[in-house]
């Protein structure tokens, strides 16, 4: 009898799949918070903001939250967020507060041959500032697709060589934490779109090398760096699996790999939270 009950309950567990995918929630710096916008039961999506950036809001229908509220805010939490400070998200005129937990990211020590990639000269710094402004503008791009994208396929085949969030030291000097996921692969291997989107930026950047940025809508963008070859141009619409270019070692690297960043509300978050379980 117990076996039958167990079998029936397992059936229910496997039936509990939802039509609308969601990223994996992780309320830590560099993670993602999913906030049911209870009390805002309007037909139009509420407009939500967190730390000065517009936040993705999707219908809760087809998710495990559908009984709780009509809308969900899906917010990227910056690596700089403090776990002892209450996080504040505003949707229309309503405030929502949430707590985050601390996360200790590991340290990584790398040696790069090009010393200017560790101690850039004034010209390099000027160039990098201009490039950064262009990239941030792409991350802030706001578009509204017909159906929200909240999950990705991997854009390259290979082992993860550096996870997201590592505290980084280049030639023993502390630098910004690792804002993406590194996938090691041979030079020339294809890099493909992880879901549908529009190319909003391409360029040859000081640190990031040859780079492509794709807008997936509602503040979700992805960035591909260190490419040897770029096969798309600004304005191109891409579908899952379309080739964006090839693995390379341009910019600040120790070898060929793809640096893949996922940005939500202009906040770089852990890309693995968006991979299908
Ligand atoms: Zn990287």
Q: Are 43 and 77 in contact (CB under 8 A)?
A: no
DSSP H helices in 140-269: none
* Distance of CA 171 from the midpoint of ligand 1 (Å): 16
Q: Are 100 and 81 in contact (CB under 8 A)?
A: yes
Higher pLDDT, 210 or 18: 210
pLDDT value for 35: 97
CB-proximal residues (5 Å) to ion ligand 1: 180, 182, 259
**Whole-number average pLDDT of the chain:** 92
On the question of pLDDT at 55 being above 70, the answer is yes
* Distance of CA 179 from the midpoint of ligand 1 (Å): 7
Q: In the CATH scheme, what is the code of domain 20-98? A: 2.60.40.1590
Least confidently predicted of 28-42, 110-124, 157-171: 110-124
Residues 124-138, mean pLDDT to the nearest whole number: 93
Residues 42-59, mean pLDDT to the nearest whole number: 95
* Distance of CA 184 from the midpoint of ligand 1 (Å): 10
* Distance of CA 185 from the midpoint of ligand 1 (Å): 13
On the question of pLDDT at 15 being above 60, the answer is no
Residues 228-234, mean pLDDT to the nearest whole number: 98
Q: To which H or E segment does residue 63 belong? A: none
Query: What residues contact 72, with CB distance under 8 A and at least 6 apart?
Result: 22, 34, 35, 36, 37, 57, 58, 59, 60, 63, 65
pLDDT value for 18: 81
* Distance of CA 211 from the midpoint of ligand 1 (Å): 12
Higher pLDDT, 176 or 161: 161
On the question of pLDDT at 257 being above 50, the answer is yes
On the question of pLDDT at 24 being above 50, the answer is yes
Higher pLDDT, 12 or 53: 53
* Distance of CA 191 from the midpoint of ligand 1 (Å): 15
Q: 194: closest CA among 150, 164, 225?
A: 150
Q: Report percent pLDDT > 70 for the chain.
A: 94
Q: Report percent pLDDT > 90 for the chain.
A: 78
Superfamily the domain 107-274 falls into: Glucose Permease (Domain IIA) (2.70.70.10)
Least confidently predicted of 136-150, 164-178, 214-228: 164-178
pLDDT value for 14: 47
Residue 174 burial (10 A CB sphere; 0-12, 13-18, 19+): exposed
Instruction: Round the CA-based radius of gyration of the chain to a whole number and report it.
Output: 20
* Distance of CA 273 from the midpoint of ligand 1 (Å): 16
* Distance of CA 236 from the midpoint of ligand 1 (Å): 25
* Distance of CA 132 from the midpoint of ligand 1 (Å): 16
If pLDDT is split at 50, 70 and 90, which confidence band does 171 have? confident
Q: In this structure, what DSSP letter does residue 271 have?
A: G
* Distance of CA 166 from the midpoint of ligand 1 (Å): 10
Q: What is the pLDDT of residues 150-161, one digit of tens each?
A: 999 999 999 999
If pLDDT is split at 50, 70 and 90, which confidence band does 4 have? low
Q: Where are the domains of the chain?
A: 20-98, 107-274
Least confidently predicted of 44-58, 69-83, 108-122: 108-122
């Amino acid at each position: 009898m117990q076996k039958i009950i167990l079998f029936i309950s397992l059936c229910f567990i496997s039936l509990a799949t939802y039509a609308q995918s969601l990223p994996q929630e992780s309320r830590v710096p560099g993670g993602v918070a999913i906030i049911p916008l209870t009390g805002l039961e309007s037909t139009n999506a509420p407009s939500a903001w967190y730390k000065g950036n517009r936040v993705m809001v999707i219908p809760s229908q087809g998710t495990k939250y559908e009984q709780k509220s009509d809308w969900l805010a899906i917010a990227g939490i910056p690596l700089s967020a403090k776990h002892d400070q209450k996080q504040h998200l505003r949707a229309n005129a309503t405030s929502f507060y949430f707590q985050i937990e601390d996360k200790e990211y590991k340290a990584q020590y790398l040696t790069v041959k090009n010393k200017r990639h560790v101690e850039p000269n004034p010209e390099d710094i000027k160039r990098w500032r201009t490039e950064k402004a262009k990239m941030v503008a792409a991350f802030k791009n706001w578009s509204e697709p017909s159906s929200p994208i909240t999950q990705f396929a991997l854009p390259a085949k290979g082992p993860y060589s550096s996870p997201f969030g590592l505290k980084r030291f280049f030639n023993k000097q502390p630098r910004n934490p690792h804002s993406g996921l590194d996938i090691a692969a041979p030079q020339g291997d294809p890099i493909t779109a992880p879901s549908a989107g529009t190319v909003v930026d391409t360029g040859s950047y000081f640190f990031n090398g040859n780079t492509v940025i794709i807008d997936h809508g509602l503040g979700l963008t992805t960035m591909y760096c260190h490419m040897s070859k770029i096969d798309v141009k600004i304005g191109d619409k891409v579908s899952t699996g379309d080739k964006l270019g090839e693995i390379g070692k341009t910019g600040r690297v120790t070898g060929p790999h793809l640096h893949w960043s996922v940005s939500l509300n202009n906040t770089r978050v852990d890309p693995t939270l968006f991979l299908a379980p």
